[in-house]
A = this chain, B = another copy of it.
Amino acid sequence: MKQKKNVTFSDIAKYTHFSKTTISRYFNNPDSLTLENQEIIAKALVDLDYKENKVARILANGKTEFVGIIIPNLFFHYYSEMLDQILATYETFGYKFLVFIGNEQEETERNYIQELLAYKIEGLIILSHTIPSKELSELGIPIVTIEREDKYVCSVNTDNYMGGYQAAGLLARHRCDVIIHINYIGATAHSEIPAYGRIQGFLDCCREHNIRHEMILKEMEDTYESTSHYLSNILADIFRKYPGMKKGLFVSNDTHANVLVNLLVRRYGKLPDDFFLVGFDNSPISREAVIPISTVGQQIDQIAFEAVSLLVEQMNERKKRRPSLLETPIHKVVPPILFRRETTERGQQAH
């Protein structure tokens, strides 16, 4: 491997017989040159095999075109698909992304933010949960959060209320005698967390349709095995508590819904006829389960695009001579989509 010598502004000036100032103007304010001169320089860049040095340009115009991303992990399909869709917006907006995995470590994430600021990022997208939005709002750069506490910063979230309402509504339409919602204790604690809306939507739907319902709230489990053990006990309780009744379960994520399907299929060889199930997320496991699972899906592509758009608007505003900064944060909401599969639509189970 050989290292090529870089072509400099001096080289281009010498080749075109323009001054270095003219060459610099070509890069930073091309319209100040005639179209003819622009073409002469453009041709020279090709002839000389000039490699643009964006780092040098950043110092000249102060614009890095960098956006920072802090994401909790890439193990959850929801996060990896979101990152995929955010990175794909490069094709539309041209911003480059510096990505950090926070792992829910508050101090680590603060260090990452300092590192990102040192690289003069123009904006920041945050999916992690540790740092309060108040603190984020004081960083002095445009910020958009996705699906987390967002009181003091701009955000894009799924309409979780509609999601909870849709799930309970589907189970109600199948005339379930009782509808049970399994979620985390954390989700009920803070009305500022978007996922809180799911519970409200579920409760409102059950009350409006006057359906017996129950909430089962659990601590977050660490491993697949401990979750499986916990859900096995829940299932035994439900069958004991509601004998002969048509039971509808709305589970806060597809991974847990899949555990329930597996437990039932291993015990009965199929899903019992009096049992209906809806998950949340439309993650791959919901389609790939032994009985494909009905689920409420988030429109991740749309959420990602809206988040970057919202950020780009603010970043562009700051490039104006007299930027008018936001007085109050903007919160955008994207509707969820209900996917009906075999855990609720029994007619299709045969195929």
Interface bits A98-129 vs B (CB < 8 Å: 1, else 0): 11110000000000000101111000000000
Is A238 part of the binding interface, using a Cβ–Cβ cutoff of 8 Å? Answer: no
Q: Which of A44-90 contact B (CB under 8 A)?
A: 51-56, 58-59, 64, 73-75, 77, 80-81, 83-84, 87-88, 90
How near does chain B come to A320, taking the closest CB pair, in angstroms? 13
The CA-CA distance from A322 to B98 in the complex, in Å, is 31
Given A55-B58, A55-B120, A120-B55: A1 in contact with B99 (beta carbons within 8 A) = no
The answer to whether B119 touches A325, judged by C-beta atoms less than 8 angstroms apart, is: no
Contacts of A141 in B (CB 8 A): 1
The answer to whether A74 touches B81, judged by C-beta atoms less than 8 angstroms apart, is: yes
How near does chain B come to A351, taking the closest CB pair, in angstroms? 10
Is A333 part of the binding interface, using a Cβ–Cβ cutoff of 8 Å? Answer: no
Given A59-B56, A224-B288, A288-B259: A87 in contact with B99 (beta carbons within 8 A) = yes
Contacts of A101 in B (CB 8 A): 84, 87-88
Of all chain B residues, the one with the shortest Cβ separation from A84 is: B74
The answer to whether B224 touches A287, judged by C-beta atoms less than 8 angstroms apart, is: yes
Is A216 part of the binding interface, using a Cβ–Cβ cutoff of 8 Å? Answer: no
Contacts of A87 in B (CB 8 A): 74, 99-101
Q: Which of A144-187 contact B (CB under 8 A)?
A: none
The CA-CA distance from A326 to B287 in the complex, in Å, is 47
Most chain B C-beta atoms within 10 Å of own C-beta, residue among A120, A140, A270, A290:
A290
Q: Which of A309-333 contact B (CB under 8 A)?
A: 318, 325-326
Is A130 part of the binding interface, using a Cβ–Cβ cutoff of 8 Å? Answer: no
The answer to whether A74 touches B64, judged by C-beta atoms less than 8 angstroms apart, is: no
The answer to whether A117 touches B269, judged by C-beta atoms less than 8 angstroms apart, is: no
Is A2 part of the binding interface, using a Cβ–Cβ cutoff of 8 Å? Answer: yes
How many chain copies does the complex carry? 2
Is A4 part of the binding interface, using a Cβ–Cβ cutoff of 8 Å? Answer: yes
Question: A1 contacts which of B58, B140, B290 (Cβ < 8 Å)?
Answer: B140
How near does chain B come to A295, taking the closest CB pair, in angstroms? 15
Given A1-B140, A255-B288, A290-B265: A96 in contact with B115 (beta carbons within 8 A) = yes
Contacts of A53 in B (CB 8 A): 118, 120
Interface bits A236-263 vs B (CB < 8 Å: 1, else 0): 0000000000000000000100110110
Is A17 part of the binding interface, using a Cβ–Cβ cutoff of 8 Å? Answer: no
Question: A74 contacts which of B83, B115, B120, B269 (Cβ < 8 Å)?
Answer: B83
How near does chain B come to A272, taking the closest CB pair, in angstroms? 14
Q: Which of A268-317 contact B (CB under 8 A)?
A: 269-270, 284-285, 287-290
How near does chain B come to A235, taking the closest CB pair, in angstroms? 15
24 contacts between A and B (CB under 8 A): A1-B137, A1-B138, A3-B140, A3-B318, A54-B118, A55-B55, A55-B58, A55-B120, A59-B59, A74-B83, A74-B84, A75-B80, A87-B101, A88-B101, A96-B119, A98-B98, A259-B288, A261-B290, A262-B288, A269-B269, A269-B270, A284-B285, A285-B285, A285-B288
Would you list the 9 A-B pairs with minimal beta carbon distance, nearest first? A80-B80, A269-B269, A74-B84, A290-B290, A74-B80, A54-B118, A52-B118, A262-B290, A87-B101
